[in-house]
């Protein structure tokens, strides 16, 4: 039996909604009689067994988003096994993030040249092979190289997932599909620390990577069977623009990732990397204005809704990704929770996302104003982070679960509507470029947030420790305790060490609370900005059409 690949389509051949476009050449869906006049409710790229295919695409996305955080908790075990140091083991994370930042801008061009089907399936194969190689790595050098290939594949999978979901879904169903995708984007990174801790404790750190194989291989078979191709444009490649942007983003990622460990601009390395990043990104902006075939269509940067969506996506990455990365560490160091339990404390946020994502789908389908929904979501998210400013070292896990759940409620009201608004007014052929920009800004926002939080934590902890230590005296600690310690020799040193540990713990807690205040105020300050969005007729039409077809 010979399996035929789908016929290559080009933009000149017309909209595939009129010609088919799947490997199985399915007939376009008929427009229901109840739909409004002139309404075309056919997907851009029809396919057989659409629900199965969408589940497969999202499964690949789950693997990709999981790998952004799942390896964090396994680093201590990897360090011992690979013979790395505290400084060099961080390259396991840095190589993944840097490769993603460098190659993500190529997504739109590659989709137009080799086809969305070939790109997505090829990236999935590369991701699975790289995952297997990471699990089998025997040295730090091998691990860094394999993680870079994994990051390169993830750079294509993230944007193409969103593009494919839009292409496969008719307009009346895009609201619910984006809500489900929002659950994946929010819940998968949160689940990473828990799943990584579980696999590391009960199996081996190598299963942090091997877990992708039983999930990804069956999914790859479904993609090969069902995934259609979208129209290709065959545009030229802006090699200089890509070079400038790749070097600039790579250098910027190094600054954000290594800045704190190198004491920021007191380090010559960071100064050089920052200079390279600034100059290369500035040259890219100048070059992109005159390029004949720019990496990203200039039309995207003249769309106000899309630009506002990019800004919101940056803030979402800064808050969601950054908190997901630092909170498990807080639970382990300050509350002494085990790794698995620390990850489990993040689960209520995922439940909150699921609850409000479903509610938002129903609200939008009934004509609710998406701007109010996004604003309310940011207010709820800000309130949840403000709840965290009341945490103490003596509390139990109940306030953690409550704040996490409330934060999920807020974030679930933001991601889906924000994506729909950003993409409602751009042309279908610009979706790969738009998706890659969205993913790039979300990732860079996450890197910026992690870097800022880690830096503020380290510096505030030193300041708080010094201030708290000034209040420790014979009077505050009790004269008898100090006198007893003075007469016990080595016991005095033990008492001093315990005291210093308590001061450090309190100082660290105050630093976390200060960071929570900053994040809460940031979320609250941007809550009114959704009203800068223009009401999209395309978005409102899709919502009205969904309601009319029920």
Q: What is the pLDDT of residues 69-114, one digit of tens each?
A: 777 777 777 878 887 776 677 788 778 888 888 888 888 888 888 8
How large a percentage of the chain has pLDDT more than 90?
A: 5
How confident is the model at residue 359, as a pLDDT?
83
For residues 36-53, average pLDDT = 70
Predicted pLDDT of residue 386: 92
Per-residue pLDDT tens digits for 381-412: 999 999 998 888 888 888 898 998 998 888 88
pLDDT given for residue 27 in this prediction: 38
Q: Which pLDDT does position 22 carry in this prediction?
A: 39
Q: How many CB atoms lie within 10 A of CB 539?
A: 24
On the question of pLDDT at 199 being above 50, the answer is yes
Are residues 280 and 244 in contact, defined by beta-carbon separation less than 8 angstroms? Answer: yes
Q: Is the pTM of this model over 0.85?
A: no
Q: What mean pLDDT comes out for the span 9-24?
A: 40
Compute CA distances 429 → 2, 10, 108, whole Å: 31, 11, 9
Q: Report pLDDT for 380.
A: 92
Say what the pLDDT of residue 491 is.
Answer: 66
Whether pLDDT at 127 is above 90: yes
Query: 275 falls in which pLDDT band (50, 70, 90)?
Result: very high
Please report, rounded to a whole number, the percentage of residues in the chain having pLDDT higher than 70.
Answer: 84
* Domain coordinates in residue numbering, the chain: 39-228+293-459+512-549, 238-292
State the pLDDT at residue 203: 83
Tell me the C-alpha distance between 487 and 74, whole Å: 44
Angle between helices 431-469 and 91-103 (to 10 degrees): 150
The predicted structure's pLDDT at residue 126: 93
Angle subtended by helix axes 431-469 and 239-258, to nearest 10: 20
> Distance between CA 496 and CA 510 in Å, rounded?
21
CATH number attached to the domain at 39-228+293-459+512-549? 1.20.1250.20
Greatest distance between any 2 Cα atoms in the chain: 93
SS3 70: coil
Averaged confidence pLDDT in the chain? 77
Angle ∠(187,192,198) on CA atoms, nearest 5: 125
Residue given tokens 């990104």 in the structure block: 281
Q: What pLDDT shows up at residue 124?
A: 92
Separation CA 109–CA 466 (nearest Å): 54
**For residue 25, what pLDDT is reported?**
40
In this model, does residue 30 exceed pLDDT 60? no
pLDDT at 17: 41
Element (H, E) at 442: helix 431-469
Check pLDDT > 60 for residue 24: no
Top-confidence range, 184-193, 310-319, 493-502, 531-540: 310-319
Q: What is the pLDDT of residues 136-149, one digit of tens each?
A: 888 888 888 999 99
Q: Is the pLDDT confidence value at 125 over 90?
A: yes
pLDDT of residue 540: 52
Position 37 pLDDT exceeds 50: no
| Beta-bridge partner residues of 232 | 10
Mean predicted confidence (pLDDT) in 182-206? 77
85 — alpha (psi -120 to 50), left (phi > 0) or beta? beta
Residue 23 pLDDT > 60, yes or no? no
Rounded mean pLDDT of 26-38? Answer: 42
Say how many C-beta atoms besides its own lie within 10 A of residue 218's C-beta: 12
**Bigger pLDDT: 354 or 490?**
354
pLDDT digits (tens, 9 = 90+) for 355-373: 887 788 778 777 778 888 8
pLDDT reading at 15 higher than 70: no
Nearest-5° angle of CA 257, CA 259, CA 265? 155
Residue 69, C-beta contacts closer than 8 angstroms, at least 6 positions apart: 189, 190, 192, 193, 196, 324, 325
Q: Which residue has the higher pLDDT, 21 or 352?
A: 352
């Amino acid at each position: 039996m010979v399996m035929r690949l789908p016929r290559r389509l080009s933009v000149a051949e017309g909209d595939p909604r009129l010609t088919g476009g799947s490997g199985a050449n399915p007939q376009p869906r008929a427009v229901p009689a109840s739909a409004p006049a002139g309404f075309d409710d056919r997907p851009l790229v029809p396919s057989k067994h659409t629900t199965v295919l969408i589940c497969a695409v999202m499964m690949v996305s789950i693997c990709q988003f999981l790998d952004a955080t799942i390896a964090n908790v396994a680093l201590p075990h990897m360090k011992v096994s690979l013979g790395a140091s505290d400084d060099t083991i961080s390259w396991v994370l840095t190589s993944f993030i840097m490769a993603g930042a460098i190659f993500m801008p190529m997504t739109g061009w590659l989709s137009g040249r080799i086809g969305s089907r070939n790109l997505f399936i090829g990236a999935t194969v590369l991701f699975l092979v790289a995952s297997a190689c990471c699990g089998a790595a025997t040295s730090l050098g091998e691990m860094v190289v394999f993680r870079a290939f994994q990051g390169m594949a993830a750079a294509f999978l993230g944007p193409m997932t969103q593009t494919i979901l839009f292409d496969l879904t008719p307009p009346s169903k895009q609201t619910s599909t984006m809500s489900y995708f929002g659950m994946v984007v929010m819940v998968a990174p949160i689940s990473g620390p828990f799943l990584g801790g579980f696999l590391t404790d009960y199996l081996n750190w190598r299963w942090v990577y091997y877990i992708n194989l039983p999930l990804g291989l069956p999914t790859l078979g479904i993609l090969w069977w069902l995934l259609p191709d979208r129209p290709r444009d065959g545009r030229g490649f802006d090699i200089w623009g890509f070079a400038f942007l790749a070097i600039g983003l790579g250098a910027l990622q190094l600054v954000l990732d290594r800045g704190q460990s190198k004491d920021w601009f007191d380090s010559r390395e960071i100064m050089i990397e920052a200079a390279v990043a600034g100059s290369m990104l500035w040259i890219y902006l100048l070059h992109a204005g005159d390029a004949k075939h720019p990496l990203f269509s200039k039309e995207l940067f003249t769309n106000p809704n899309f630009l506002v969506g990019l800004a919101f996506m940056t803030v979402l990455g800064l808050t969601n990704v950054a908190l997901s990365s630092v909170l498990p560490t807080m639970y382990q160091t300050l509350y002494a929770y085990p790794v698995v339990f620390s990850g489990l404390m993040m689960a209520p946020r995922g439940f909150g996302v699921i609850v409000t994502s479903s509610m938002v789908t129903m609200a939008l389908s009934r004509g609710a104003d998406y701007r109010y929904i996004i604003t309310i979501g940011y207010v709820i998210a800000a309130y949840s982070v403000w709840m965290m400013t009341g945490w103490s070292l003596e509390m139990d896990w109940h306030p953690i679960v409550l704040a996490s759940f409330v934060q999920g409620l807020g974030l679930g009201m933001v991601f889906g509507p924000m994506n729909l608004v950003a993409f409602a007014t751009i042309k279908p052929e610009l979706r790969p470029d738009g998706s890659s920009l969205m993913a790039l800004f979300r990732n860079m926002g996450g890197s910026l947030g992690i870097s800022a939080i880690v830096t503020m934590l380290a510096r505030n902890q030193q300041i708080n420790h010094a201030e708290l230590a000034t209040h420790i005296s014979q009077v505050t600690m009790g004269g008898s305790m100090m006198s007893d310690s003075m007469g016990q020799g080595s016991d005095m040193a033990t008492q001093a060490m315990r005291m210093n540990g308590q001061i450090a713990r309190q100082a660290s807690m105050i630093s976390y609370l200060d960071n929570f205040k900053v994040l809460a105020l940031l979320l609250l300050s941007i809550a009114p900005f959704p009203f800068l969005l223009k009401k999209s007729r395309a978005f409102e039409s899709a919502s009205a059409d969904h309601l009319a077809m029920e």
